[in-house]
Structure 1
């Protein structure tokens, strides 16, 4: 069809441009994310959506290039609303960071265009140890979509407008491995074919949209998901094959689509009223097209969904791994660990799994009655478990001192300290020491506890000849601390924001671990300190926001981690031999992750240390 330029049922065809298919459409009031918007059809898609009044967020790997594109768009359309945000689809950490920043911006989201891609490179692994085309073209978009779904649902409900997810696939989805998706050999270099791997990733784009459609219908939400083939276009996708790229560019003058034509189907599916209510379809030349039999296989789509949720990084573990998975075969006999906040959620699961592997666990809990019930449950499952319950209220420095005194006088050793307890986003409250509750509980209590137990950990390490580990459970929410740590306003009610204060306390967890790691290295002691993000989990942390908690718990059945999955990274960092000797790192999904610039600032870490010392001395 595209060679003849004929128009299909929609009234458009292969010669139609993005401006043609959006003529007369008013996109004012809509907000769209376009990935890979710094070049090719991504740039043209962003330009035309902005031209039609859509607020466009360009999600790009190179923000400098993205900013130049933005300037060109605004120069052409001075009223255009365009933002640039950094996103590297080949890095799951980058995807999580982007999603966290976007969701904390309070921007709505009507349209998500998963456009970015890489085509047929030599065998390469992503930053997470996943074959690059599958990682970039499918997995990054899969995670991005999942993390933004709640924002899209909320926008749809509040604006009473249909939300649209658009996956840019390709007719190359027909050229793939014999099983469609080569699940058992995604990262196998020996069986790698650059063309088949590209086709596999493009098939995954279609299957992803189809499975989203099935779930949306089941949930009865006003969202749609479709996929498309943009056409054969002369772009930079073939940059890994320079000779072939040159031929294609030359031939393209006569036979291939232009970039404005290539962006047409994307803009049509994203904006045109003809597509309203349509979901799970595959488009080409702005008309429906029947994809391959693999692309229509609903069981393959479900299998891909489950597989994608469980993809593993360099460590061999991923977001789907449980605490038992990551500690399989590890003997913790002879080790002693303190787990704070061990009476519920991931703290209870962490205590259970450590005890299951022979660790003597001391549950440090505010409510000893609840803690004793958890202990009894652990002993029922593992009768030979060594587990104790001690009272600790992290919101009270007096309670912290009392706990540390009792522990140190017990003559128990201490190999592992897991600073897990926390509170999230309560109304403004002061602790018993007149310190803002989240900073007091999540950071300051743990800071004092750690300091008071350090000599016990050092002596244990020397006597046993074993590495001691301190594990601070932080959160990707540390990025909500947009100003870092405002030391002058820690207890200022007038400037209090519950989410920002939560982010500040979680940022403090990371900085605390970083500064500990620096001091341990300087002292040449065999102790390590790391921080981590456990994942978005169904727990009672949001108990101060009952409606949100209810929504999250319901949604969690589909997208959030279970508690056993949420406890995985804590157990991995605490016990796994892969982490031996590693200090001052931040982990997510049992792999090293990236953190905000504030969380990497050694001077801020030192300042926090000194500030915290002065606070606990009062």
Structure 2
């Protein structure tokens, strides 16, 4: 039983990866159409100091958006700001420290943002970790669950009031969660939050997949809550495909070497992968449209489990309980 719990998640994840690579081999990367300028609008990009997040920040600043790069690596974050300002003298971009593994850090980030009295029109929940060794955060949560999911949920909920005030009937604020095809491999029979916390028979592959399914479940339920409340905010998920970034640094040495070789031929570059996220954040085609799972610029079907209203509701309630948040957005 223990062996199966370790091997099956690995096989499922790599099989899904092969399917994604085959698609990327046979199809050109999506190129975002020309988008209207976003002058006067503000975005936060978590994990925006490097990789995919950096390219999303770069493209949004080129549209005239004021971008705040949120990262736990201050040195890289400040370097990213300097680089973007060097490329475009008119770029409005700042750095703010944010460690999504710490709920206290999330709360302090939100307080600092609120003190700036800025609006917020786009929240790009991009930061993430993959296949890290078993460990817990200072709050006692499994690392994948905390960084990929729980920290972003708290960030989103605490910033929601600003996003509601910033949105209008004609120009909604947008919450974009960068997800992964790995969510397709997460078990469809999750019974409770304990499965997502993954306390027993720890597998980093399963933990990563569970955290990505949780992201999609939360996104869909959040969209329903926003729509029911009549708020001018939408929530959607973006699958960037397999991207050549440092996300794979925790692979075993032989696998990492193979990944580096394959990446040169089949992986999307961060710049290519950023197009769908930018499209989701700024395209007029998606004005007022939420609850989407976007891949290569198109709305596609996510996993069957992700559409389970029962799973969405149970996860929402358990997450609110863990974070000490009201279940209702209107509370």
Inter-partner Cα distance in structure 2 for 1:131 and 1:236: 21
Which SS does the other structure have where 2:128 is aligned? coil
Within the candidate set 96, 105, 127, 1:85 is matched to 96
SS of the counterpart of 2:52?
A: helix
Partner Cα separation in structure 2 for residue 281 and residue 249 of structure 1: 31
The answer on whether the counterparts of 1:224 and 1:278 sit within 8 Å (CA) in structure 2 is yes
* Residue in 2 that maps onto 1:558: 328
Q: For 2:81 and 2:37, how far apart are their aligned partners in 1?
A: 20
- Contact kept, 8 Å, 1:22 with 1:271, in 2: the verdict is no
User: What is the 5 A alignment of 1:194-213?
Assistant: 194-213=204-223
Matched, 1:137 2:148: yes
Whether 1:162 and 2:162 are equivalent positions in the alignment is: no
Tell me, yes or no, if structure 1 residue 319 matches structure 2 residue 324: yes
Distance, in Å, in 2 between the alignment partners of 1:255 and 1:270 is 26
1:15 alignment counterpart = 29
2:62 paired with 1:51: yes
> Which is higher, the Rg of structure 1 or of structure 2?
1
1:260 positional shift: 0.9
Q: Which residue in the other structure is 1:4 paired with? A: 26
Report what 2:243 is aligned to: 233
Q: Partner of 2:118 in structure 1? A: 107
- Paired with 1:128 and 1:22, the residues of 2 have a C-alpha distance of 42
Check conservation: 2:196, 2:210, Cα contact below 8 A: no
Structure 2 unaligned blocks of 5 or more: 1-22
Contact 2:226 2:234 (C-alpha < 8 Å) held by counterparts:
yes
- Shift of residue 2, structure 1, vs aligned partner: 2.8
- Say if 1:234 and 1:248, in contact at 8 Å, map to a contact too: no
How far did residue 276 of structure 1 move? 1.4
Contact 2:37 2:63 (C-alpha < 8 Å) held by counterparts: yes
Query: In structure 1, what is the Cα distance between the partners aligned to 2:191 and 2:78?
Result: 36
Task: Name the CA distance, whole Å, in 2 between partners of 1:295 and 1:286.
Answer: 20
Let me know the Cα RMSD of the aligned residues: 1.9
**By how many angstroms is 1:102 displaced?**
0.7
Return the offset for 1:119: 0.5
Q: CA deviation at 1:21?
A: 0.8
Asked if the contact 1:37/1:45 (under 8 Å) is kept, the reply is yes
Match status 1:259 vs 2:274 = no
Whether 1:36 and 2:47 are equivalent positions in the alignment is: yes
C-alpha change, 1:44 and 1:205, in structure 2 (3 Å) is same
Cα shift readout 1:428-487 (whole Å, capped 9, x = no counterpart):
xxxxxxxxxxxxxxxxxxxxxxxxxxxxxxxxxxxxxxxxxxxxxxxxxxxxxxxxxxxx
1:35 touches 1:114 (CA, 8 Å); kept in 2? yes
The 1:124/1:102 distance shift into structure 2, 3 A limit, reads same
Q: CA deviation at 1:179?
A: 2.4
Are positions 1:271 and 2:282 aligned together? yes
2:312 is aligned to: 301
CA positional deviation for 1:151: 0.3
1:26 aligns with 2:37: yes
Counterparts in 2 of 1:211 and 1:266: CA distance versus 1, 3 Å: same
The 1:267/1:180 distance shift into structure 2, 3 A limit, reads: farther
**What TM-score, normalized to structure 1?**
0.48
Are the structure 2 counterparts of residues 2 and 298 from structure 1 closer, same or farther at C-alpha, using a change threshold of 3 Å? same
CA contact (8 A) 2:173 2:234 kept: yes
Quote the Cα distance in structure 1 between the aligned partners of 2:110 and 2:160: 10
Taking the aligned partners of 1:176 and 1:305, their CA distance within structure 2 comes to 17
Q: How much does 1:25 deviate?
A: 2.5
Q: Which residue of 1 aligns with 2:105?
A: 94
> SS in structure 1 opposite 2:26?
coil
Shift of 1:245: 2.6
The 3-state SS of whatever aligns with 2:266 is: coil
The verdict on how the C-alpha distance between 1:195 and 1:162 changes in structure 2, with shifts beyond 3 A counting, is: same
Contact 1:181 1:200 in 2 (8 A): no
Tell me if structure 1 keeps the 8 A contact 2:97–2:109. Answer: yes
> What is the deviation of 1:229?
0.8
Counterpart of 1:146 in structure 2 is 157
Q: 1:557 to 1:293 in 2, by over 3 A?
A: closer
Shift of 1:60: 0.6
Written as runs of structure 1 = structure 2, the 5 A alignment for 1:456-535 is none
Q: Secondary structure at the match of 2:25?
A: coil
1:191 correspondence with 2:201: yes
Residue in structure 1 matching 2:226, options 216, 219, 226: 216
Distance (Å, rounded) in 1 between the aligned partners of 2:77 and 2:202? 32
Deviation, 1:560, is 8.4
Give 1:3 shift.
Answer: 2.3
User: Unaligned regions of 5+ residues in structure 1, if any?
Assistant: 6-13, 312-317, 321-555, 562-618
- Give the TM-score normalised by structure 2: 0.88
